Amino acid sequence: ETRGVLRRGDLKPQKKQEGESGAMYSSCRTSPAMPRTVHAAALVLAMVAFELSAVQCFQPSLVPVPSASMTGRTAVYVSPAGRIGPSLRGARTPLALRMQERQDDIQTEETRKTAKARSIAAANDALQLLLSRRSALGLTAAASAAALIPKKPAEAESVSAIEDAFGEGVRKAPGKLIVGKDGSVEKSPEDKRSYRTLTLPNGLRVLLASDPATNKASAALDVHVGHFSDPDAIAGMAHFCEHMLFLGTTKYPEEGYLEKFLSVHGGSSNAFTSNEDTNYHFSVNQDSLEPALDIFSQFFISPLFTAAATGRELNAIESEHSKNLQTDSWRSNQVLKLRGNQKHPYAKFGTGNKYTLEQNTKEMKIDLREELLAFHDKYYSANIMTLCVLGREDLDTLQQMVVSKFSAVRNTDRPTPEVEWQGKGAAF
């Protein structure tokens, strides 16, 4: 129903605003003074005027943009959602565009609901499978997740065959058998390197990798002791010991000698202390591997731990701690430690700082250097160390290097550190 008909003069273009496109804006206005008679010709004009004006009056989200592929006065209208359609002279009207947009939205919503329903169904199926397997196998809650993923028969047979061939001495990476009892190494078919494993007479385990195409040689040694083994009264001892090994040895007494050597020969070194391991590693130009290994091996044979270096390195520990205070991951990790089981070593303050290592030990009348020497003597044993070396040399040459330089590492046959916190409950 209309309250009047449009007169020709009522189709007045709106004034163009600054920054707007040059398209004609027509307003749809009726005169209340017109008689309440619907004239057919006027109604047709009104419909045409509506179609011409509604693009901007009723579709402000559609903006005209130039089109190189279209000529004349035709424009292409693009909505913020990316839908494109011809406007003034095209076959699709604004009403049709709105209907198409609505249809697209409905289809998108249906697709999302369908995907959500499928995810819920899959989760329910997985849960039922988990519960049925727990019931059938008598599994505990901790073992249920492993039972959720069934082994393929062929895969299970392959694992069984490898275990039969290598016996109980086979070593595992997560979910993968890589080193057999006979020292053989399983590798990718695309891996062109040659590998060898061996155990030195002092119990130190070694993995060698020969790559004739490499320009860089590298080595890493892992000691199976971390801040879980810190003395209760000295938080950060394992981390402090890691720092001190770089500050001189009997054979190379100059502090930082390894770093100076590596910087001249295109290399670098670093180390880190984790919960249960401390790792030392370096890289160097391939022709300088042997002298670098000789310097590196002395870290684990005859470190000096001088009193002067002990005092100075506390400042480096404090600087590292101050940096960690501004890092969210370190802060949240410490919150977890405070909320955990305080009898479990996970609750220990592993980084340490100047207070825990210096001020606190003085207050308790503890000699920090003597405690450091005792910690190194107790835990730095060859039987809980593992060394990896990569070089351009052949495996026999690499083995000769390692045997000559690391056989002198002391072996105290100490048990793995885990025995110290057995029976103290879970971390949380």
Is 242 tagged catalytic?
Answer: yes
- 3-state per-residue secondary structure call for the chain: CCCCCCCHHHCCECCCCCCCCCCCCECCCCCCCCCCCCCHHHHHHHHHHHHHHHHHHCCCCCEEECCCCCCCCCCEEECCCCCEEECCCCCCCHHHHHHHHHHHHHHHHHHHHHHHHHHHHHHHHHHHHHHHHHHHHCCCHHHHHHHHCCCCHHHHHHHHHHHHHHHHHCEEECCEEEECCCCCECCCCCCCCEEEEEECCCCCEEEEEECCCCCEEEEEEEECCCHHHCCCCCCCHHHHHHHHCCCCECCCCCCCHHHHHHHHCCCEEEEEECCCCEEEEEEEEHHHHHHHHHHHHHHHCCECCCHHHHHHHHHHHHHHHHHHCCCHHHHHHHHHHHHCCCCCHHHCCCCCCHHHHHHHHHHCCCCHHHHHHHHHHHHCCHHHEEEEEEECCCHHHHHHHHHHHHCCCCCCCCCCHHHHHCCCCCCC
Question: Of the listed 242, 313, 358, 371, which one is catalytic?
Answer: 242
The catalytic residue positions are 242
